[in-house]
Amino acid sequence: MSGAQVKNIAASVKDRLLSTARQRKNAPNSNVLKGSHFLVLF
Protein backbone atom coordinates (compact mmCIF):
# COMPACT_ATOMS: atom_id res chain seq x y z
CA MET A 1 0.00 0.00 0.00
CA SER A 2 1.27 3.44 -0.83
CA GLY A 3 1.28 6.32 1.64
CA ALA A 4 -1.45 8.05 -0.36
CA GLN A 5 -3.73 5.01 -0.07
CA VAL A 6 -3.20 4.87 3.68
CA LYS A 7 -4.04 8.58 3.98
CA ASN A 8 -7.19 8.12 1.91
CA ILE A 9 -8.33 5.17 4.00
CA ALA A 10 -7.61 7.04 7.24
CA ALA A 11 -9.54 10.07 5.96
CA SER A 12 -12.56 7.99 4.96
CA VAL A 13 -12.59 6.16 8.29
CA LYS A 14 -12.35 9.49 10.10
CA ASP A 15 -15.24 10.91 8.05
CA ARG A 16 -17.30 7.84 8.80
CA LEU A 17 -16.57 8.09 12.52
CA LEU A 18 -17.54 11.76 12.54
CA SER A 19 -20.80 11.16 10.69
CA THR A 20 -21.61 8.24 12.99
CA ALA A 21 -20.92 10.38 16.03
CA ARG A 22 -23.51 12.83 14.68
CA GLN A 23 -25.99 10.03 14.04
CA ARG A 24 -25.37 8.63 17.50
CA LYS A 25 -26.67 11.84 19.06
CA ASN A 26 -29.91 11.37 17.16
CA ALA A 27 -30.19 7.58 17.26
CA PRO A 28 -31.03 5.68 20.45
CA ASN A 29 -29.47 2.50 19.01
CA SER A 30 -25.84 3.53 19.37
CA ASN A 31 -24.60 -0.05 19.84
CA VAL A 32 -25.49 -0.93 16.26
CA LEU A 33 -23.50 2.04 14.98
CA LYS A 34 -20.51 1.26 17.19
CA GLY A 35 -20.44 -2.32 15.96
CA SER A 36 -20.39 -1.27 12.32
CA HIS A 37 -17.33 0.91 12.89
CA PHE A 38 -15.23 -1.90 14.27
CA LEU A 39 -16.07 -3.93 11.17
CA VAL A 40 -14.88 -1.05 8.99
CA LEU A 41 -11.59 -0.66 10.86
CA PHE A 42 -10.58 -4.32 10.76
In the chain, what are the domain boundaries?
3-41
| 10-26 average pLDDT score | 82
| 11-26 average pLDDT score | 82
Q: What angle do CA 11, 24, 26 make, to 5 degrees?
A: 130
Instruction: Specify the pLDDT at position 42.
Output: 43
Report the Cα 8 to chain-centroid distance in Å: 13
- Rounded to two decimals, what is the model's pTM? 0.46
Please, what sign has the CA dihedral across residues 5, 6, 10, 16? positive
